[in-house]
Structure 1
Amino acid sequence: MKYCLLLLAILAFGSVDAQRPEYISGNNSWNTDSLGDHRVVVQFNGVGNVAKTTVEWRRRDLNPEGKRIIVQDARTGAKVRNVKVVTVNNEKGTLLFEPVSGKGRYYLYYLVSKNSGSPNYPTVHYLEPEQTASAAWLRTLPAQLAVNAPVVAFESSDAFNSFYPMEVTATAAETRTLLGKYRRSDYVVFPEDRQYPVKLFAQLPYRWVQRGAVKDFKGSAMQGEHYSFQLAVYALKALEDLTVHFSDLKDGKGNVIPASGMSCINTGGVDYTGKPFTKMVQVAKDSLQPLWCLVEIPANSRPGVYRGQAVVNAAGAAETRVPVQVTVAAARAKEGNIGEPWEQTRLHWLNSTLAQENTVIAPYTPLAVKDNRIDLLGRRVIVDSSGLPAQLQTFFTEEMTELKTEPNNIVTEPLHFHFTGADGKDLKFKSKGVHYTRQEPGTVAWTATNVSPSVQMDIAASLEFDGFLSYTVKVTALQDVDFRNINLHIPFTREAATYLMGLGEKGRLRPDSLSWNWDVANKNQDGVWVGAVNAGLQYSLRDENYVRPLNTNFYLQKPLLLPASWGNDHKGGIIIAQKGKSILADNYTGARSMKKGDTLYFNFNLLITPFHTLNTDFQWATRFYHRYDSISKIKDIGATVVNIHHGNAINPWINYPFIEWQKMKRYIDQAHENGLKVKIYNTVRELSNHAYELFPLRSLGHEVYSPGKGGGFRWLQEHVGADYIAAWFVPGVKDAAIINSGMSRWHNYYVEGMNWLTNKVGIDGIYLDDVAFDRITMKRIKRVLTANGHPGIIDLHSANQYNKSDGFINSANLYMEHFPYLNRLWFGEYFDYENNSPDFFLTEVSGIPFGLMGEMLQDGGNAWRGMVYGMTCRIPWTENADPTGIWKLWDDFGMQGSKMIGYWVSNSPVKTDQAAVKATVYKRNGKALVSIASWAETDTDVLLKINWEQLGIDPAKATITAPAVKKFQDARSFKVGEKIPVARNRGWLLLIQ
């Protein structure tokens, strides 16, 4: 719809100004990859071998004189070689060329570029001018020649690539003349309709020259519409504290559109946590700042003409009163007209608080408080009189399939701080006790104050239903004081410190000692997970200035900020080693001083793992087909859920599934009729250049889009210009994304969008490809996806981020705060399934210590090792791997209802006689499916050590067979007690019954 409207506007240009050539769409009629997306159509009407044209192209791009111009004969398509560029600048260019076919049309391509580098992260260079004209032809050029090849049209490859009308620039003279009509020396306000988003931020569009000096705004809306318009402020001097305020809009008959329903997204709003905020808007001299104004038209408003005003102010400048007139039609908008987002009706989503209330999400249970004990699903927190945790416990069995009554203690004693003075003595604190400030099903919060003669420590903490425990620790110096060290001690039990992941260590058995120092410029590391399968703790160290960094390939462009408290100018660090009966995590700062009244924030977050028991039946029954394909084909293969990536017919644009939503709905309806569910790719790390709101979001500065060096696909360079980070590009559909800034109001839009897709389109969940938002947004997403009985399935893919560009972080550590709301992991690209240990599989890939299960990606994974953790690959993403044979065995065996007993379970009924060959049991009444996989360095033979009583099988009657499984194993039988050959890096699926 948007492109149809734009094309109509383009074709109608001639009616606006008959003296100007038309702007038209070329309907992709030429090779844009070699010639670019823009050309000028000229008509040679002269005689002889020299054509002259002067093109008033009003270009926005930088350095036009440094870009190549290619002249093409429209009749033959041949390149004209005899060309002389006389002058080129942004306003116009004059060329001479040989009209090789005589009278007729010729094309001038003026933004010719070449791609290099990765297809998905292209580097685009504009070709430099070239000299191809022959000396003989150049000698024939007359000294004076009138224009004999006038411009007929400006043609873009399609409507989406057009510069018309808001990127066709005014000349310098036109700009001076227009600005002069406003008689201002500080700034000028240009009212503009929502259909024409301001796209230039340092130039005026020619459209404003054509219409003349306009000082009021007039627009039309529907009853109940989320209406918007622009007040674009052009700064004649540097402006500070730009604001806009509104009056009521009245129709003169007593009907009112109240000012309380009017706002400006540029000057404030509601952040992603639900808190209102204001923005200080500054405008540099000779810059253009659009102010996007939102108007909520009441659904019961009477049709008519409503008038009022918007008042624009800037510090040290005169106010500007802009008369505003909105004509309200008799028609009523459906759902605020959000079904027409090209009208910018969804901008109000930026300030949404949908699903912000911290209600409990299944399968979690309400928090229960008794004295200083707080119970939550499978876990318990006991609060010390200091306000810090006295004990952290879990109640999960080793199998992770059920809860028990006896706790697993995570710490040996309360978490505690040491403030060691210059004399080597620790400060003694007196606690004023714990005060509970909030007791709700989803959140319990408390405060505590601890005082010593020289330091006061104020603690504010909150525990949420999923096991997230957040501490704000404000330390205030009551007098000048010097410290030899400040330490936070977390004394783990040995049982809860089996494995470690983070601080530069891949997931592994916990080393005897670990020493780590802060290096935020290069490493996305501020915490660690220490745990066992059924009891563990992730903690991260932060201060009051924490900002979520960019992730994946972009970490180094926006890294962590060094916390002033913990980092202490890089003197701080962490040592984890045994001390007495504890595995002590010593989080230290090194020596520092504080002056009286100084404050430091020693904030930290804790995640108590696991989050819930394993849902193994979901793992066996839910089989993803990860590609847009025919429903009948997917159903015949045996998959149950379709994952729709981006870059296809029904979801073409990355993280913006709102344009082809009707096609998507038809597909989903068909899937539902055939008993299949459909999930779509949608996250917020980057955003397609096809988003209707791209330029309103650009008007917010760096709130939504990260600053960067620009570049990337040519559309971005030609229309966005500069100051962005180019992200994923899909060559087939030419979808070019821009990196988002991290945490912003775009997450509010994202939540509203997911709610709309769930209810309007019928999606059954989302596929996340790495995540650029935090747990607050994740909870909101889970709420809207699962409302009203919707399944809300979420699976998360991550590429291995343990590398330089990603900051050497473990994907599982990075995303652990999201794990409580996921249904499956898909870890992932660049994960090495051949050369990593079982401990790596368990902690970084499988998800099992966190109550999750996963799948493998890179090259299909290792099928034998994967099955030890209940994992297969995903069809048909990896062509050389196929899990359908394993799926069939699951069904034949009856995996639904079986009990998974992993090799990590101390009393597993089936083990091997070799530590490097692991065995996991899937047990049913009277039979068991045993998965064996080898990490031995060579082929080997193993003997099964079977507890027949636990299996409930009579060894005298038992059989051990390896059923034939496609692309996994040939059929074979083994005798009880017979050694089983296991090839290196492979294994077996054995049926014992």
Structure 2
Amino acid sequence: MDKQFVPCMLALATLSCATSLWAQTEPVPLRWNADRLGNHRYSVQVDAPATAVRVVLPWRRRDVHPEQVAAIVIGPDGQVVNNVVRVHIDQADGELAFEAKQTGVYAIYYQPYVTGGHPNYPTVTYPTPANTADAQWLRRSGAADPGRERTLPEAHVLGYQAVDDFDAYTDMERTATPQERQALLAAHPGAPWLLFPETREHPVRMFQQIPERWAQRGAGGTFADSALRGEYLSFQVGIWTARAAIHHVQVSFADLHGPGGATIPSSAMTCFNLGGIDYAGQPFTTHVDIAQDRVQPLWMGVDIPTTAKPGVYHGVVTIGADGIPAQQVPLTITVGAAQAVAHGDDDPFKLTRLRWLNSTLAQDDSLVKPFTAITVHGATLGLLGRDLTLASSGLPRQIDSRFDERMTGFANKPMPLLAAPMQLLVQDGSGTHALHAPETPSVHSDGPAKVHWQVDGRAGPLHAAVDASLEADGTLTYSIALTATQPTSLDDIRLEIPLRDSVAQYELGLGRTGDHAPADFNWRWNVENNQDGAWIGAVNGGLEFHLRDEHYRRPLNTNFYHQQPLVMPSSWDNDGHGGVTFKRDDARYLVQAFSGPRRMQAGQTLHYDMVMRVTPFKTIKPAEHFAERYFHAYGDLDAIKAQGANVVNIHHATPINPWINYPFLEPAKMRAYVDAAHQRGMQVKIYDTIRELSDRAPELPMLESLGHEIISGGKGGGFSWLQEHLDGDYIAAWHVPENRDAAVIDAGQSRWHNYYVEGLDWLARNIGIDGLYLDDVAYDRTTMKRVRKVLQARRPHPLIDLHSANQFNPRDGYINSTLLYMELFPYIDHLWFGEEFDYQHTSPAYWLTEISGIPYGLMGEMLQGGGNPWRGMVFGMTNRLPWTGGDPRELWKQWDAFGIEQADMIGWWVHDTPVKTGRDDVLATSYVRHGKTLIALASWAPAKTQLRLHIDWNALGIQPRAATLRAPAIAGFQPAAVFKPDDAIPVEPGKGWLLILQ
């Protein structure tokens, strides 16, 4: 055997070995079929044929029960060896005896698995051992006879290999043997816990067992590493609770002392596991307890000043816990003379970006375009297109909308939304009492984009404390604390929202899809449903409301709602007594959120939290919308531009963005593509959201160390890498078979949002991305605002579009996608709704409220099956290239031929729209230019119809006698046709026309 071959084989994950060496000895190709054989194997050398040979594999397995997992032996000829005996199997090693008919290298695959289920949500199982050995061979070889196997010829272990470098077990995943553990304990008699300092290059990967590396190196010692000036240096101290559980871990740092009296202050150091800055910008601390015989890495960091004097710095970190003597870990950090670039953040594997977890970037009350500063005139608060007048209770006395019905501008006369002031009512035996205070609250400014106020009042027998705020996008947040001063019995506590009847045209939420608002409706709380509010309104004025618990956290969404469902609000729900009713009554539409009877003790406080949003958030911009033609796929830019598209969405699982929600590992490729697009006058947006996180993220082991702060807890499973390298307490998410990318679900609100915002800032600065494609995001408006601010600060015309599959189904808790994401709508530019949306069998009201985005200030495109191009055009929608089911290119050409970007869009919902059909089931939207109008007709009628257009000639500026009405030929959409303006126009069910009147 070539002497160079042996050390190559003995190395961990020997994929760097020369192919020529493998050609001499390797039984199967270097990259094998992992789905059949698994990701791990040992190669062993058999020097001479034998009835049976013996081998001991020093695998140091991290899976707890290797005796329950099969192994596969493959001979030099590539064939499976069936005659195999598992002599002894445990975590430390595995002893096998197998038939060896040939001399050469055998491969033993020791974690084979079977993949089933959906390709993107695979079910991976590890088969149990099966007895495939022939009985005669067993007798003849003696392989199964106790003790006799020791006399068998011995195969020599050459080394361990993994299917690729990423799947290989690291040195932090090879477990210590029981003997090594005992030796380590013996070296530290009586110690309840042991500390192991580690550099960032060796992240702790196991939390239930210690690695061989620690057992052989020993506990304690000095942490030593080097860094450049201005670099953020991260490191770990691993804790093994060898003999006892510990409670309330504490960490303190001392100043680092360097050459010539130079110091790095202790304030430059942090321990991420013990707290930081949360996603909302608030400091927090974490109480860390560690069960006995567990491993807990404490991740720490030191921000080396750019002015640090080069040289060696010494200090200590002290780690203690309740009732246990503290231990000190000496620190030795060598600071180099060179300056780090951007703290070292350009290399994700250096883990300098961990400091992003505590970032407050864009965490302020500054304005986001197009919103305007909130004005305060006494009790009236003004914001973009809306006014809010407060009552003495702190609740709205009136809300006015100044948006016009076209949604492209503002009306001369405001439209009031309320028929009477909102009230919070407390009902007891003596009557019904409204929350009130002596005078109108004083409003205080937090910044141009936010104001707040407080009320100290009463509601019958209860004291009321109201904390409220209004933001520039139209979001109202209330925290109302009701306290009993003495024991009292209550019949009800309820909120009343009396909307004007003319405003309450449409409704969605509380288990109803978008439609006309019902005359009567009753709803009750149910944790199986992700439902806590609704939207009610007209196109140019409406109100969204949500009733919340004071400990509200955003539920998981997109297939995972039931694994972190809604926190049922104890006040509003009241053990099932609460609910919501709608009632249309004369000139008002009354919404009542009631909580039912209860008894309160003296001093008891109930929290009635709620969030409301006044819609629309902003005007629609049809000209910009029609100018932005989407190509939703990675591809050749010249070919994309030739098809008429100018905005490219780069999904994950593409060459420049291969890993889901971690777009940092191919920066050169991404930058080159973005630069090339900009040279062609095109924009590039990337897929990046934090609903889930790729296993390729270098920070993943550190995030595991934070418990469930960032990675949601669950039953584990999923793709093989997750099962083999994580400790099982996670929710398996999206998997891309083509590049073996697997993800885990993130918590809905965590410090990973801080990292995400910093990451987008890095991408905008260094890569030049023009925006984001969001696919069913998990974060709330707090993070969405920051995202918008960062992109607006870095890019001249950032674009954000939001895609969602229809989430009105049992696995998602019957939540309307529009309602789920409405809080994000102020900060995005387009909607793309989406898989499982029904474009063929739903009403115009559904299209308007659930799909189009228009009542909220957005426009969008269609997806499922290409949508319905005729109905889409009455909302200004097409589908996107290159998705199957529809092709918008011919429509785009017609847009350009007509000049749609220079037209005024007047939708069918506008009361004085200049072109009407006289029907509710065949609708017309007009695109009006000087001297000509493009009319989009679409039918929801069950059968073919004949209709005559009702045209306001004066509004269009066209002389009827000279007018022509023609349908241009549009491939896949309509044939050419000519009509007279007063002709009866035939319209097929589910279809329509594009007609040019001039």
TM range (shorter): over 0.9
Q: Assess if the C-alpha contact under 8 Å between 1:225 and 1:298 holds in 2.
A: yes
Residues 408-442 of structure 1: per-residue CA shift (max 9 Å, x gap):
11111111111000344436744354122335311
What letter matches 1:333 in structure 2? A
1:526-675 → structure 2 map (5 Å cutoff) = 526-675=532-681
Unaligned 5+ segments in structure 2 are: 18-29, 143-147
**Equivalent position to 1:845, from 842, 846, 851:** 851
Partner Cα separation in structure 2 for residue 719 and residue 454 of structure 1:
58
* Structure 1 residue aligned with 2:41: 39
Determine which of 328, 333, 340 is the counterpart of 2:335: 328
Between 477-486 and 749-758, report the one with greater CA deviation: 477-486
Match of 1:390 in 2: 397
Identify the range of structure 1 (465-474 vs 83-92) with the bigger mean alpha-carbon deviation.
83-92
Secondary structure in 2 matching 1:159: coil
* Deviation of the 1:897 alpha carbon: 2.0
Cα separation, 2, equivalents of 1:427 and 1:826: 43
Partner residue of 1:746? Answer: 752
1:452 & 1:902 partners in 2: Cα distance? 45
- Structure 2 SS opposite 1:49: strand
Change (3 A) 1:580 1:916: closer
Distance 1:124 1:515 in 2: 44
- Quote the residue 1:113 is aligned against: 113
Distance 1:685 1:247 in 2: 38
3-state SS, counterpart of residue 290 of structure 1: strand
User: What pairs up with 1:208-607 in 2 under 5 angstroms?
Assistant: 208-235=214-241, 236-426=243-433, 429-438=436-445, 440-451=447-458, 454-520=461-527, 522-607=528-613
- Return the alpha-carbon distance in structure 1 between the equivalents of residues 12 and 54 of structure 2: 20
Matching residue of 1:737: 743
CA distances 1:340-391 after superposition (whole Å, capped 9, x unpaired): 1111110000000000012101111111111111111000011112211111
- The code of the aligned residue for 1:798 comes to S
Aligned equivalents of 2:153, 2:398: Cα separation in 1: 87
* Structure 1 residues 900-924: Cα deviation after superposition (integer angstroms, max 9, x where no partner): 1111111111111332111111100
**Structure-1 residue corresponding to 2:25:** none
**Matched residues in 2 for 1:210 and 1:186: separation?**
19
1:887-906 matches, within 5 Å, as 887-906=892-911
Tell whether 2:730 aligns with 1:724.
yes
The one-letter code of the counterpart of 1:826 is: W
Match of 1:954 among 959, 964, 979: 959
The Cα of 1:131 is off from its aligned counterpart by 2.1
Query: 1:802 is matched with which residue?
Result: 808
C-alpha separation in 2, matches of 1:790 and 1:232 = 46
Q: CA offset at residue 695 of structure 1?
A: 0.5
Provide the residue aligned with 1:695 in structure 2: 701
- Following the alignment from structure 2 to structure 1, what is the Cα–Cα distance between the partners of residues 86 and 267? 57
Question: What residue in structure 1 maps to residue 96 of structure 2?
Answer: 95
Contact kept? 1:430, 1:452, Cα under 8 Å: no
On the 8 A contact 1:704/1:740 being kept in 2, the answer is yes
Q: Which residue of 2 aligns with 1:828?
A: 834
Pick from 876, 882, 891 the counterpart of residue 886 of structure 1: 891
- The Cα offsets for residues 108-138 of structure 1, whole Å up to 9 and x where unpaired, read as 0011111111000000111221222222211
8 Å contact kept, 2:55–2:95: yes
Structure 1 contact 625–639 (Cα < 8 Å) conserved: yes
**1:180, CA displacement in angstroms?**
2.8
**Residues 783-792 or 888-897, more deviating:** 783-792
Whole-Å Cα distance in 2 between the matches of residues 724 and 497 of structure 1? 43
Amino acid at match of 1:327: T
Indicate the larger mover: 206-215 or 765-774: 206-215
Q: In the alignment, does 2:14 pair up with 1:24?
A: yes
| Amino acid corresponding to residue 312 of structure 2 in structure 1 | V
- 1:29 Cα offset (Å): 1.6
SS for the counterpart of 1:426 is strand
- Contact 1:535/1:609 (<8 A) preserved: yes
1:66 and 2:71 are equivalent in the alignment: no
Q: CA deviation at 1:12?
A: 13
Measure the CA separation in 2 of the matches of 1:283 and 1:458.
Answer: 40
Aligned residues of 2:733 and 2:742 also touching (Cα < 8 A): yes
**Number of aligned residues:** 976
Could you tell me how far 1:851 is from its partner in structure 2? Answer: 0.8
CA deviation map 1:769-818 (0-9, x unaligned): 01100101000000111114432210000000000000000000010000
Distance in 1 of aligned mates of 2:486 and 2:658: 62
- Given that residues 123 and 713 in structure 1 are in contact (C-alpha distance below 8 angstroms), is that contact kept between their aligned partners in structure 2? yes
The 1:702–1:754 alpha-carbon spacing in structure 2 relative to 1, beyond 3 Å, is same
What do the CA deviations read for 1:851-882 (whole angstroms, capped 9, x no partner)? 100110111101111111000001002x2310
User: Within the alignment, does 1:919 sit opposite 2:921 as a pair?
Assistant: no
Once residues 41 and 57 of structure 2 are traced to their aligned partners in structure 1, the CA distance between those partners, rounded to angstroms, is: 11
Q: Deviations over 1:578-616 (max 9, x none)?
A: 234210001100001111111111111110000111110
> 1 CA distance for matches of 2:918 and 2:475?
40
Partner amino acid, structure 2, of 1:420: Q
Q: Does the Cα contact within 8 Å between 2:717 and 2:723 map onto a contact in 1?
A: yes
Q: Which moved more, 1:746-755 or 1:961-970?
A: 961-970
**RMSD between superposed Cα atoms in Å:** 1.6
Q: Do the aligned residues in 2 keep the contact of 1:272 with 1:747 (CA within 8 Å)?
A: yes
Report what 1:761 is aligned to: 767
CA distance, structure 2, for counterparts of residue 908 and residue 13 of structure 1 = 83
The secondary structure found in structure 2 opposite 1:43 is strand
Q: Please name the residue that 1:141 is paired with.
A: 141
Native 8 Å contact 1:82 1:98 kept in 2: yes
Report the secondary structure of 1:657's partner residue: coil
Retained in 2: the 8 A contact 1:80–1:100? Answer: no
Give the share of equivalent positions with the same residue, in percent. Answer: 46
Indicate yes or no: 2:51 matched with 1:49: yes
Counterpart of 1:982 in structure 2 is: 987
Kept in 2, the 8 Å contact 1:432–1:450? The answer is: no
User: Following the alignment from structure 1 to structure 2, what is the Cα–Cα distance between the partners of residues 88 and 270?
Assistant: 47
* Higher mean displacement: 26-35 or 150-159: 26-35
Given the superposition, is the C-alpha separation of residues 80 and 841 from structure 1 closer, same or farther in structure 2, using an over 3 Å criterion?
same
TM score, norm. by length of structure 1:
0.97
Matched position secondary structure for 1:326: strand
* In structure 2, distance between residues paired with 1:684 and 1:452: 42
Q: Give the distance between the partners of 1:184 and 1:582, measured in 2 at CA.
A: 76
How far off its partner does 1:259 sit?
0.4
